[in-house]
Amino acid sequence: MLKFSMAKFHIIITAAGSSSRMGLDRPKQYLAIHKQTFVERVTRVFENISLVDSIHIALHPKDDMWKTLNLSFSPKVNVHYCGGASRGETVLNALEALKGHADELDWILVHDAARPGIQEKDVNHLIDTLKDDPVGGLLAYPITDTIKKSDKEDRVINSPARDHLWQAQTPQMYRYKILSNALKSFDGIPTDESQAIERLGMKPKLIKGDFRNFKVTYQEDLSILEHLISE
């Protein structure tokens, strides 16, 4: 138990996407909200959390925008040009970059740079709730809208009951060794870290987050987020 109590907390921020669905001239991690790019805003949130030992920003290998920002962070922030063809590959590459810095029992929190609405209180709540959990878990938000499942022609097949349905968010928090093994052994491309953990037969814990922590995917999402988040 002594080793568990000494476990550290490391953040991986995935910021290697091209954001093609937004149709803009730059990846969404470099869009600005209240004069801060998404990736900067997210990094500042984690930088302010005392329990966080290190922060690792995973960029695309050909990223040419990061250095133009001229940002100054604390020594616990590290940048890796290790983005892969998928989110899972990017996280695995970042885990490889953490070797020698993180113990196999340390906690890894993976967060999307495209979720600039994350708040310190929710990260602290996640860590506090899961720090002694045997599996780990993720922030999520209960679904309240009616859900429809469609066929290939976008016609409704059925309306699943929304009881016990959640919309996954990030950070998603798992121990280094378990997360690494889950991603390496996954057959296919996982949509998130939780899905890879589930394939190992484990049951991640859902921790209620904040509705503002949604993933910015379309242009209209940006204006919605600007109204929800005060400067």
SS (H, E, C) 8-57: CEEEEEEECCCCHHHCCCCCHHHCEECCEEHHHHHHHHHHCCCCEEEEEE
The reported pTM is: 0.93
Reply yes or no: is the peptide bond before residue 134 cis, omega within 30 of 0: no
Question: What residues in the chain have per-residue pLDDT under 70?
Answer: 1-5, 19-24, 231
Please give the pLDDT value at position 2.
43
DSSP for 87-131, please give it. Answer: HHHHHHHHHHHTBTTB-TTSEEEEEETT-TT--HHHHHHHHHHHT
Amino acid in the structure at residue 98: L
Which of 29, 33, 1, 25 lies closest to 14 in space, CA to CA? 29
pLDDT, tens digit, 9 for 90 and up, residues 3-25: 455 899 999 999 998 755 556 67
Q: Report the pLDDT value the prediction gives residue 221, as an integer from 0 to 100.
A: 86
Q: How is residue 206 annotated by DSSP? A: E
The token pair that represents 134 in the structure block: 């045997």
Could you tell me the domains of the chain? Answer: 2-228 (3.90.550.10)
pLDDT at 228: 83
